[in-house]
Structure 1
Amino acid sequence: MTKTELKDFLDAKVLQYEHPKFLESDPIQIPHRFSLKEDIEISAFLTATIAWGNRKSIINNATRLMNLMDNAPHDFVTNHEAHDLERLTDFVHRTFNGRDASYFITSLKNIYGLHGGLETVFAMEAPKGFQQSSISSFKKKFFELPHPARTQKHVSDPMRGSAAKRINMFLRWMVRPDDTGVDFGLWKQIGTDRLSCPLDVHSGNVARKLKLLLRKQNDAKAVAELDKNLRKLDPIDPVKYDFALFGLGVFEKF
């Protein structure tokens, strides 16, 4: 397949899968339940944090987490008292438990109260260039409060070799335009050209079959390699191809 043929093929798949119907089975449906910017980004961040494993389970547990926050995530984050976190004690999604959830809420209160919110932190910490190094900087700020050591594993660090799939997915949701009603386009301080593909087993396998990725591990080096090749197809919005790679892998078993 030539570069032109590959681009035409993937562009067609983007059009096929970047569609509101995509919301029916994807965790991105959770933040779509809200209209306030801060509610959307907080619910999106928490949903993305637990977005591994069975997608039905992710959606069910993210729904439960929103219910525990009275379906007003920004109000709960900014106004909760320590005793309010007791309701999270029994929450669990795979290895993410109530202690983790409590710290995430506490840290988000700090982020919004002292640092201007999630968008400001990601934008301020980001140097010129791609977004991956800013994820590492964000993690440092997110864990600047006393925290359980175990909770750090729930925020990946590309500078330590991680593909950071879930944070890259969250950034895609926030930054890419909402033209098709899937992503939100809420954040204006970060350009789509700085985003990286949320690499997982499905998109990775498809990328290898299409010769967009040679590295066998799904790690930070693989993300960098895939970034380079996707930017050759669209330097302005390379992450739109996440829909094509994911759709081909999950829905078409490509």
Structure 2
Amino acid sequence: MPDTEFLKDFLDEKADLYNHIDFIENDPIQIPHRFSLKQDIEIAGFLTATISWGTRKSILTDADKILSWMGNSPYDFILNYNEKDIDAFQHSSVHRTFNKEDLENFVKNLNRIYKEHESLENLFLLKEGETNFYHSFHRFRTEFFNNDEQHRSTKHVSSTYKNSSAKRLMMYLRWMVRQDRKGVDFGIWQNIDQKYLSIPLDVHTGNISRKLNIIQRKQNDWKTVEEMDLALRKFDDQDPAKYDFALFGVGIAKEF
């Protein structure tokens, strides 16, 4: 195990280096950064995070397709959605296995939710005693799909109750919750404390974390998210998610 103080200094240095406005240029977070209205940011961010697997170029291209269909006014589009609107989506696919039927169901559910809530934040709030989003993500998933587990689109929202790391949901929460002095994350959700955020765990952040001996588990699942929490919150218990930039950055730079 590396010296704890050395590892903290290393991660702090890399987080500061890569948590920079230039990060936005080639990252999916650039999509919600096109908007200023809170709900536009939420919707653009949620849909972009949902399709955030594969190459970043393809994610950006396909997010553009969705937003163009929405007239680049996602909140207005969602509030006024009509079932005939899906006919105007002229593309044969949306993003890889996320297809036109999935997109339609997501938009219908967002329409229902925004008629009941001012913000998607309300669906992610933690309950008393909760220190991570294990139960919160399950509640969101249940509410978002309106207790319909049969529709094919449910596979695009991970289930922590099935031990998923829920990487894309966690990334979305980092975008919305984290108070970022560097102008990358938005911090527009004021009722969720960033100290409860975790690292969006995937193959890349998992591999780097193992090389740094931050985690020992071999699987990239929710139990490993909790293992990583224990380590990273010792380094910064008020902003542990900032280390996402460090792990992502050293991975991209191929420092290992």
| Fold match by TM threshold 0.5 | yes
Deviation digits for residues 115-149 of structure 1, max 9, x if unmatched?
33301111266863212210011000001165762
CA separation in 2, counterparts of 1:110 and 1:147?
Answer: 17
Over aligned residues, Cα RMSD in angstroms? Answer: 1.6
**Counterpart residue number, 2:6:** 5
In the TM superposition, 1:119-134 aligns within 5 A as 119-123=121-125, 128-134=130-136
SS in 2 for 1:92: coil
CA separation in 2, counterparts of 1:173 and 1:94?
Answer: 23
CA separation in 1, counterparts of 2:106 and 2:127?
Answer: 19
Residue type of the partner of 1:56? K
**Counterpart residue number, 1:60:** 61
**Counterpart residue number, 1:80:** 81
| 4+ residue runs over 4 A deviation | 124-127, 145-148
Conserved? CA contact 2:66–2:94, under 8 Å: no
**Counterpart residue number, 2:214:** 212
Aligned mate of 1:249, from 230, 248, 251: 251
Q: Which moved more, 1:35-44 or 1:119-128?
A: 119-128
Question: Is 1:93 aligned to residue 100 of structure 2?
Answer: no
Equivalent pairs: percent with the same residue? 50
CA separation in 2, counterparts of 1:104 and 1:198?
Answer: 22
SS in 2 for 1:190: coil
**Counterpart residue number, 1:231:** 233
SS in 1 for 2:200: coil
CA separation in 1, counterparts of 2:156 and 2:129?
Answer: 23
SS in 2 for 1:100: helix
Structure 2: unaligned runs, 5 residues or longer: none
CA separation in 2, counterparts of 1:244 and 1:54?
Answer: 20
Paired residues in the alignment total: 254
CA separation in 2, counterparts of 1:67 and 1:148?
Answer: 29
Residue type of the partner of 1:195? L
Residue type of the partner of 2:174? R
Conserved? CA contact 1:130–1:194, under 8 Å: yes
Residue type of the partner of 1:119? E
Structure 1: unaligned runs, 5 residues or longer: none
Conserved? CA contact 1:49–1:167, under 8 Å: yes
Conserved? CA contact 1:125–1:137, under 8 Å: no
- TM-score, normalisation: structure 1: 0.96
Deviation digits for residues 65-124 of structure 1, max 9, x if unmatched?
110110000000111111112223634211000000011111011111123330111126
